[in-house]
Amino acid sequence: MLIAGKCHCGNISLELDWKPAPTTIRARACDCSFCTKHGGVWTSCPGGSLSVMVNDLSLVSKYAFGTKTAVFHICRSCGVVPVVTSELDGRLYAVVSVNALELPASLPVERGPASFEGETMEARLARRKRTWIGDVDYRG
């Protein structure tokens, strides 16, 4: 199932090919300080693929904090964070903001809390490889 998404102004757009087609979108409300302040609620489908297209790269800020292993892509024009990436072993992985997706009304979103406090670096990176989208094409 192809699912489109974008930041508010459209500078950063997404096309998520969710495989297999979902009956529910599971979303994680991360409790880290950045996601809490921005209302970050993330989703991913490890079997799918993601294309990220940036119209004007000069209007994208990249922010990494804490372990500096995840990069938040922030549109400087509208302030939306539609995607987070992590480069692991030469491969780009990503999660997308469920709020940036243009989901059909018939596809329910199941939001739940997520806490990664106390997770070791090794466990964190292994979890991303296992649960984030591993087929990412980022064009900017």
Q: Could you report the per-residue pLDDT of 72-100, keeping only the tens digit for each?
A: 999 999 999 999 999 999 999 999 999 99
Q: Is the CB of residue 114 less than 8 Å from the CB of residue 131?
A: no
Residue 140 has pLDDT above 90, yes or no: no
Rounded to an integer, what is the distance from CA 118 to the centroid of its chain?
21
Query: What is d(CA 44, CA 25) in angstroms, rounded to the nearest whole number?
Result: 9
Query: What is d(CA 51, CA 83) in angstroms, rounded to the nearest whole number?
Result: 11
Sign of CA dihedral 35, 21, 7, 104: negative
Q: What is the mean pLDDT of the chain?
A: 96
Q: What is the mean pLDDT of residues 125-131?
A: 97
